[in-house]
Amino acid sequence: MSEPAWPDEVFAVLREADIQQVGYVPDAGHARLIARAHAEPSMRAVVLTTEEEGIALATGAWLGGARAVLLMQSSGVGNCINMLSLAANCRTPLLLLVTMRGEWGEFNPWQVPMARATEQVLRAAGVLVHRADHAGEVAEMVRAAAALAFASREAVAVLFSQRLIGAKVFVAAGEKL
């Protein structure tokens, strides 16, 4: 099976939007975006120890004249609740690309509660939320979210559904699929 094209399309949109910093906590759903960011000389990929650091990174980038994006998984949204007020109070743009877990075909029951709450939690914190379920809509949705975030200085998130990114499969050591 060939790899989907949408991660490369999203990367192209990030370049069009002049994203210079990419904050992320390692995530298989964003693996191709992360690898592309590391390989791109015009971008600085920054591995974070926790997702809320990415909000500070994006705010600092904006104050320093650069644009940033934060890549995270839905389970990390809960880590960001208090820090989302930084972007709101300082009126700095915040672009979040969130891979969903705990949905389509999930094997890990610990991912389900945050998946159920992710969109509502972001909206309650004042984040404008868009959800991508189909590969054909991803690039345009990210393009619109980036334009909105940077033109209006708002927090905007695009949720990449688990059906879009594909469900992870747990394989114990020594087992075969």
The pLDDT tens digits of the residues spanning 105-114 come to 767 788 777 8
CA distances from 16 to 12, 35, 90, 136, 155 (A): 6, 18, 25, 18, 19
- How sure is the predictor about 1, in pLDDT bands with cuts at 50, 70 and 90? low
Do residues 130 and 141 make contact, with C-beta atoms less than 8 angstroms apart?
Answer: yes
Whole-angstrom Cα distance, residue 57 to residue 67?
A: 10
What is the reported pTM?
Answer: 0.90
- In terms of Cα–Cα distance, which of 104, 89, 87 is closest to 29? 104
Do residues 14 and 39 make contact, with C-beta atoms less than 8 angstroms apart?
Answer: no
Spell out the domains of the chain, with CATH numbers in brackets: 6-165 (3.40.50.970)
The pLDDT tens digits of the residues spanning 137-155 come to 999 999 999 999 999 999 9
Q: Identify residue 64 by its one-letter amino acid code.
A: G
The pLDDT tens digits of the residues spanning 7-28 come to 999 999 999 999 999 999 999 8
Give me the sign of the Cα torsion angle 49, 52, 55, 60. negative
